[in-house]
């Protein structure tokens, strides 16, 4: 049994709103295994993006963090800024949804890809620029030499996201965190970028943590899945098991709301709204919208043990 690359234990993230601490992430636990794609999936406000940010301790000081993020014998959450700088962009890298706002508009593509190599690997600029060219080949940008001298506005959305991936991969990280990397792209371009990420993951033996709201993307790229709702991981397991036998009432309901291009069926929406962070229900946070609510649901359920685990009082053990 291989040991996990990163262990997230009871991670909680709170923000102070109107003088009251509100828990946006409510104690989540999951592992990231070597050489796998873990998808964290959920709707707006479920805490998936801030969970991803906290894996690199990128949240502002106004956030109160609890729990542990264990990586390489250290707890990321207890590291100082200077120690974090050695990890960020070097051993753990991140790419974002909107490549136009995360690229610097006044630097050339080449300079931006070379920068992490100069900072982390101590390369000289000319050597780093050469390596940048190789990275553009790796992300399959044609005409790499010309592209190196271009600015982000000269590239299409798909190309910009490829440049982001090249920057992320520059220092050969062990973990690449991708926050909705294809959400802003057209479907044919999305398919290209997803295939690229998958190929690179295999080649480089990298682990990818992909944050997405799109269950179609999850079904096509994930090895394992964590489903989040209102700050909790409600279900986690191998991708085949999650889609073939979804167990949590939320996962089941969510799968019935996605319109599919291959078949028409009666969509059944989940009634009600995701609760506001200031008014989270006690106990299971899905209970007010759940059709299987029981008297136990006012206590927060824990994830059941096993590879496919679920946090729900209405479910027995599930293996």
Partner 1 sequence: MKDLLVVEGLGKTFGSKKFLQAEYAVTALRNVSFTLGKGETVGVVGESGCGKSTLARCVLDLIEPTTGSVLFDDTDLTKLDAKAKRDIRSRIQMIFQDPYSSLNGKRTIGKTLAEPLWVHEGVKYKEALPRIHAVLKEVGLPVSAADKYPHEFSGGQRQRIAIARALILEPELIIADEAVSALDVSVQAQVLLLMNSIQKEHGLSYLFITHDLGVVRNFCDRVLVMYLGSVVESGPVAELLTNPKHPYTKSLRDAAPIPDISRRQSLALLEGEIPSPANPPSGCAFHPRCPRATDICRSEAPTLQSSDDQRMFACHNPEP
Binding site for partner 1 (CB under 8 A): 43-44, 156-159, 186-192, 194-195, 198, 213-220, 239-240, 243-244, 253-255, 257-265, 267-271, 273-274
In the complex, least distance from residue 198 CB atom to partner 1, rounded to whole angstroms: 8
User: Residue 116 or 275: which CB sits closer to partner 1?
Assistant: 275
Based on CB atoms, which residue is closest to partner 1, 110 or 158?
158
Measured from the CB atom, the residue of 104 and 245 that comes closer to partner 1 is 245
Between 106 and 261, CB nearer to partner 1: 261
Contacts of 40 (CB under 8 A, 6+ apart): 48, 51, 52, 209, 210, 211, 212, 225, 226, 228
Q: How far apart are CA 204 and CA 198, in angstroms?
A: 10
d(CA 167, CA 89): 8
Distances in Å between the Cα of 230 and the Cα atoms of 28, 46, 249, 289 are: 11, 4, 14, 12
d(CA 231, CA 67): 14
Whole-angstrom Cα distance, residue 240 to residue 308?
10
3-state secondary structure of 67: strand
Cβ proximity to partner 1, 118 vs 184, nearer residue:
184
Cβ neighbors of 297 (< 8 A, separation 6 or more) are 283, 284, 287, 290, 313, 314
Angle at 308 between CA 304 and CA 310, to 5 degrees: 40
Among 280, 302, 292, 218, CA closest to 255: 218
Q: Do the strands 63-71 and 37-41 form a parallel or antiparallel pair, or are they unpaired?
A: unpaired
Instruction: For the CB of residue 239, give the shortest distance to partner 1 in the complex, in Å.
Output: 6
Please list, residue by residue across 62-83, b when 16 or more beta carbons sit within 10 angstroms of its beta carbon and e when fewer do.
Answer: ebebebbbbbeeeebbebeeee
Which one-letter DSSP state was computed for residue 159?
A: H
- CB 245, min distance to partner 1, A: 10
For the bound state, the minimum distance from the C-beta of residue 91 to partner 1, rounded and expressed in Å, comes to: 29
Q: How many CB atoms lie within 10 A of CB 223?
A: 16
To partner 1, the closest distance from the beta carbon of 257 in angstroms equals 4
Cβ of residue 121: shortest distance to partner 1, in angstroms? Answer: 32
Q: Which is nearer to partner 1, 66 or 157 (CB)?
A: 157
The least CB distance from residue 103 to partner 1, in Å, is 17
Nearest residue (CB) to partner 1, 27 versus 157? 157
Shortest reach from residue 44's CB to partner 1, in Å: 5
Helix ranges (DSSP H) in 46-186 = 48-54, 81-87, 99-102, 109-121, 125-138, 144-148, 157-169
Q: Closest distance between partner 1 and the C-beta of residue 125, in Å?
A: 30
125 vs 243, which CB is nearer to partner 1? 243
Q: Which is nearer to partner 1, 66 or 238 (CB)?
A: 238
């Amino acid at each position: 049994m291989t040991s996990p690359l990163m262990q997230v234990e009871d991670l909680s993230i709170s923000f102070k709103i109107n003088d009251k601490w509100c828990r946006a992430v409510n104690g989540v636990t999951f592992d990231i295994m070597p050489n796998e794609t873990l998808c964290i999936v959920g709707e707006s406000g479920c805490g998936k993006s801030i969970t991803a940010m906290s894996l690199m301790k990128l949240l502002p000081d106004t956030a109160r963090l609890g729990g542990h993020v264990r990586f390489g014998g250290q707890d990321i959450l207890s590291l100082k800024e200077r120690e974090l700088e050695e990890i960020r962009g070097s051993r753990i890298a991140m790419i974002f949804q909107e490549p136009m706002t995360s690229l610097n508009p006044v630097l050339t593509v080449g300079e931006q890809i070379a920068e992490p190599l100069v900072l982390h690997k101590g390369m000289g600029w000319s050597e780093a620029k050469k390596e940048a060219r190789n990275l553009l080949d790796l992300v399959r940008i044609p005409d790499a030499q010309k592209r190196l001298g271009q600015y982000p506005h000269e590239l299409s959305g798909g190309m910009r996201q490829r440049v982001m991936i090249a920057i992320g991969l520059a220092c050969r990280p062990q973990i690449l965190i991708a926050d909705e990397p294809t959400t802003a792209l057209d479907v044919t371009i999305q398919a290209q970028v997803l295939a690229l990420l998958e190929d690179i993951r295999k080649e480089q033996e990298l682990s990818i943590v992909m944050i997405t709201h799109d269950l179609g993307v999850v079904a096509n790229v994930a090895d394992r899945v964590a489903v989040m709702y209102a700050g909790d991981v409600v279900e986690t397991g191998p991708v085949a098991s999650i889609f073939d036998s979804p167990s949590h009432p939320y996962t089941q309901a969510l799968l019935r709301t996605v319109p599919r291009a291959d078949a028409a069926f009666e969509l059944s929406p989940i009634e009600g709204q995701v609760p506001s962070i200031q008014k989270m229900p006690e106990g299971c946070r899905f209970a007010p919208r759940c059709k299987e609510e029981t008297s136990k649901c006012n206590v927060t359920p824990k994830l059941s043990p096993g590879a496919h685990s679920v946090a729900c009082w209405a479910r027995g053990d599930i293996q």
